[in-house]
Amino acid sequence: MIELVNVKKVFNAGNPSEFSALNSVTLNIAENHVTVLKGPSGSGKTTLLSIVGCMSRPSAGRVKLNGREITSLPERFLTDIRRKTFGFIFQQPNLIKGISVLENVMLPAYPLGEKRAQLRAKALHGLNELNLSSKANAKVEWLSGGEAQRVSIVRALINDPGIIIADEPTAHLDTKLSYRFMEIIEKFKAEGKTVIITSHDPLVYEAAMVDRVVNLRDGRIEDMPA
Ligand SMILES: Nc1ncnc2c1ncn2[C@@H]1O[C@H](COP(=O)(O)OP(=O)(O)OP(=O)(O)O)[C@@H](O)[C@H]1O
């Protein structure tokens, strides 16, 4: 589904602060699998995830999505692919203050031009699924950390992405909410979605539904379990 061949990422190339965050990473991410990218702080997990999710480009190497080479596509095509293919869940929920929970959830869908009533119904359904119906009209600054995190999950799903990308999703969650998050991941998998998570939380990478753990160290894949 996603194929990386000899991917490198160099930051500040040509400067004294030049840094190779990824070195010749070759990786196949299988459809409908849950893949966890694991490794110490600074090992390149977030950098790799941002390349997989078309948020940044590799300095060298190739990235293919469903057999299509996307490495050198112009930015507007990448934006379109990003919007239609991926749902992003970040460590920090990154919700927009001053507007309601419901509006935050609907926001990523506006560029796709879906009818507002239809979109609203979909957003409310998503909020209901994560027990957030009563918060639909609340401002996001009123939410608890766990509620904000769940809103960001509903937002990530609004365009019905085939691939969910989550960067350290349990970093700010307590144990109970972390388990709840993993239940949600299990549900995605049952729906046929592909999930890629970065984490150094054993509760995530030791979970039964995880198909593959990829160990990163110093910007390289340490081992390639079958
Ligand atoms: N924009 C940037 N400019 C320079 N260096 C960067 C940049 N982004 C990341 N790096 C460096 O690349 C390395 C890998 O960073 P990355 O965020 O991918 O690590 P990580 O494994 O996700 O770490 P953590 O678990 O702490 O989030 C780090 O040493 C980081 O300082």
- pLDDT tens-digit map of 68-106: 898 888 888 888 888 889 999 988 888 999 999 999 999
ipTM above 0.90, yes or no: yes
Phi, psi for 90 (deg, rounded to 5): -100, 165
Per-residue pLDDT of 17-73, as tens digits, reads 999 999 999 999 999 999 999 999 899 999 999 999 988 999 999 999 998 898 888
Q: For residues 9 and 44, is the Cβ–Cβ distance under 8 A? A: yes
Alpha carbon of 226 to ligand 1 centroid (Å): 27
Is 47 touching ligand 1 by the criterion CB < 6 Å? yes
**Nearest to 26, CA basis, from 56, 48, 57, 50:** 48
| Fold (topology level) of 2-221 | Rossmann fold (3.40.50)
- H/E stretch holding 34: strand 34-38
Q: How confident is the model at residue 226 (pLDDT cuts 50, 70, 90)?
A: very low
What pTM value is reported for the model? 0.87
Q: With a 6 A CB cut-off, is 179 part of the ligand 1 pocket?
A: no
